[in-house]
Chains A and B, each alone.
Chain A
């Protein structure tokens, strides 16, 4: 039938996806460590409408008359810009990352997952207090092991420095290292990480293997801020403008479908 019907339909589908992405950003505007996503579009293939074409002054053009067949969603890309640092109310185990690193947690299936959400808690484990995220997944240190603190410590006295070392005051009040260091990992291509629920990311071939900041001198290490949480990097004003664009573009395409439909109706009415 008419190409325009399908081109306009492809435009509507693309804008639906766009709106889905925008809605997800807005609903996560208060999610700690959330990274916004943006849908991007590409043209679909082109068809030759007419092989011989002539310009206004009668010369033949080297290319045929081409018509595009609509649009498609090319990618939904995560933007890993730094979110705002939000002071958390007395959170000893709240951390924010300043830089490109990720925290690592051990999932229930035994695999390692990565997150920017530094809202952690101390849970009672077999050998002491275990640092876990709010889902209870243990946070890993630089050696990929869970962080288990001695049972008799006072958790409110724990200090974590900018490099992620756990410090505890001795009898004289001097901070002594506890021999635990929060692991931070970077990726060659963070956009390639597999986004999962609970603010977790999984390693994929596209992201490349995790690079341990502790063992690699070629990368710029991130710093840890204790008592802060990283807010979402979603800009509400941006999303609102994007929503207007998406809605209007959707509307426009629906108008094109209506117009094509009317044209087909008129063609049908030719024979009385």
Chain B
């Protein structure tokens, strides 16, 4: 009896967590390069129920079969599908078409720079001509991005070659970026730099950092990317509003169902407490 109360309670908590994940998608429906997230539900491990002290069967314990006592979040997954493009015609707005990430050096407060990865290509140049994110973090060039090695060590890829390893251009020249990420100045045929775009073998080893950035954890493997770089374009969020709204209905109703279940069990308990044994 009381077991069911807690089973329904885990259901409510689970739906609340799913709601949190879904709301983050809605809040980021206008965030560049955002990839939508979802949460799966997973039942608790099955436990074997045994009936004991049953006089009808010579007081022998008797197996009843398995039962599951609740639900929890299985995993949160990220949908890395391509977002749609928005043409901005801004020189330093870059979008990636296909699998891959821009490599960015993120410097923490204690001065250590680690490589983070992002699909948000809304860049700008600073006064020295370095290509930076809107928060001022350096966008790394191809050698530095690939130089992180194949396997990612614990604590992420640290990078010390700053700012030499970043993409640098002449800010007063006309900048052209080809689909391979080569950067040209004015009519020059020789690229001055190449933007670092890399990919990972298994996206399960990418952790969300916030600020539109991902950080690889130990076990991730850096590999070459086949993504094409599109200049003057931004990749929009891949959140699908219709799907999220349907998801919201499902979540709120599932939550309501579990709430009703608790109320029903409560009513049954009330009967047991107050009515049984009443004259």
Instruction: Give the B-binding residues of A (Cβ under 8 A).
Output: 2-4, 7-8, 10-11, 14-15, 18, 38, 40-46, 49-50, 53-56, 61-63, 65-71, 74-75, 77, 79, 81, 100, 186, 188-189, 191-192, 205-208, 211, 218-220, 245-246, 248-249, 252-253, 255-256, 259-260, 262-263, 266-267, 269-270, 272
Contacts and interface: CB of A to CB of B under 8 A. Distances in A.
Nearest to A100: B172
Interface string B110-150: 00000000001010111111000011000000000000000
B268 interface: no
Interface in B19-63: 19-24, 26-32, 34, 37, 39-40, 42
Contact of B20 (A45, A67, A186, A269): A67
Given A2-B19, A74-B134, A256-B26, A43 B212 contact: yes
B255 interface: yes
A65 B76 contact: yes
Contacts of B180: none
B263 interface: yes
Contact of A252 (B89, B241, B255): B241
Which secondary structure characterizes the binding site on chain B?
Answer: mixed
A53 B26 CA distance: 24
Interface of B: 12, 15-17, 19-24, 26-32, 34, 37, 39-40, 42, 72-76, 88-90, 120, 122, 124-129, 134-135, 170-174, 186, 204-212, 217, 219, 241, 244-245, 248, 251-252, 255-256, 259, 262-263, 266
B248 A255 contact: yes
A211 B28 CA distance: 39
14 contacts: A49-B21, A67-B17, A67-B24, A74-B134, A75-B135, A77-B122, A79-B88, A207-B127, A208-B171, A218-B170, A220-B173, A249-B26, A259-B248, A262-B252
A95 B19 CA distance: 56
A205 to B, nearest CB: 8
A11 B26 contact: yes
Nearest to B248: A259
Given A62-B205, A71-B27, A45 B210 contact: yes
Given A42-B211, A44-B210, A49-B20, 6 more contacts: A43-B211, A54-B74, A54-B75, A63-B205, A67-B37, A272-B263
Contacts of B245: 252, 255
Given A3-B23, A11-B29, A62-B219, A68 B208 contact: yes
A265 to B, nearest CB: 10
A262 B125 CA distance: 46
Which secondary structure characterizes the binding site on chain A?
Answer: mixed
B248 A49 contact: no
Contacts of B186: 220
Most chain B CB neighbours (cut-off 10 Å) among A15, A65, A205, A260: A65
Contact of A245 (B30, B72, B209): B30
A68 B134 CA distance: 20
Contacts of B208: 43, 46, 66, 68
Given A46-B209, A245-B30, A252-B245, A65 B251 contact: no
A191 B127 contact: no
Given A49-B76, A255-B245, A218 B16 contact: no
Given A2-B19, A43-B211, A14 B73 contact: no
B267 to A, nearest CB: 9
B248 A66 contact: no
A81 B74 CA distance: 48
A163 B112 CA distance: 48
A40 B134 contact: yes
A211 B127 CA distance: 12
A53 B24 contact: no
Contacts of A44: 210
A39 to B, nearest CB: 9
B74 A4 contact: no
A192 B132 CA distance: 12
A249 B262 CA distance: 35
A68 B40 CA distance: 16
Contacts of B32: 40-41
Contacts of B23: 3-4, 7-8, 11, 70, 253, 256, 260
A266 B37 CA distance: 26
